[in-house]
Amino acid sequence: TSILVIQGPNLNLLGTREPEIYGKTTLEDIHIKLDSIAKSHSIDLSTFQSNHEGEHIDRIQKAKIDGVDFIIINPGAFTHTSVALRDVLAGVAIPFTEVHLSNIYQREEFRKHSYLSDIATGVICGFGAIGYELALQAAITRLKK
């Protein structure tokens, strides 16, 4: 069983980027934690971060070829802009959870719309770094069924 975690633009800056909004946990800290949870369930977890939209598209297309079972994605700002990201997720038909550290409904108007939410298995937002762990737990439960 394999799960892919995808991190959108600027999430490589976690820890120093607007910590009052995104927290002080680094992306590496998050990935280490997810990896240990996955290992304890004998799940193969891969992580990917890119600031480039096309690289996201390529990575998700590759996930299909690789037989990835579930995707956990924080699309960052691409959430609110990218039809291409929506199309590839719909195209590969790999179930996915959309995660946001912040509560996007509490912020600027433009963050309230997501191109992905209506085709996601679930959406988790506003819980900070723990949101990824919740998403992973939910994915594991679903995959064990």
Residues labelled as active-site residues: 22, 100
Query: Which of 7, 49, 50, 79 is in the footprint of ligand DQA by CB under 6 A?
Result: 79
Give the CA distances from residue 21 to residues 14, 25, 74, 89, 143, in Å, rounded to whole numbers and listed in that order.
10, 11, 15, 27, 32
Among 12, 102, 117, 121, binds ligand DQA (CB under 6 A): 102
118: phi > 0 → left, psi -120 to 50 → alpha, else beta; which? alpha
Residues 77/10, Cβ–Cβ less than 8 Å: yes
Determine contact, residues 98/75, Cβ cutoff 8 Å.
yes
17 vs 41, which CB is nearer to ligand DQA? 17
The answer to the question of residue 124 lying near ligand DQA (CB under 6 A) is no
41 annotated binding-site participant:
no
DSSP string, 16-57: TSSHHHH-S--HHHHHHHHHHHHHHTT-EEEEEE-S-HHHHH
Minimum distance from residue 64 beta carbon to ligand DQA (Å): 23
> Is 100 an interacting residue with respect to ligand DQA (CB under 6 A)?
yes
Output the smallest distance, CB 89 to ligand DQA, in A: 15
Taking CB under 6 A as the criterion, the residue among 1, 41, 69, 77 binding ligand DQA is 77
Enumerate binding residues for ligand DQA (CB under 6 A).
Answer: 10, 74, 76-77, 79, 100-102, 104, 111
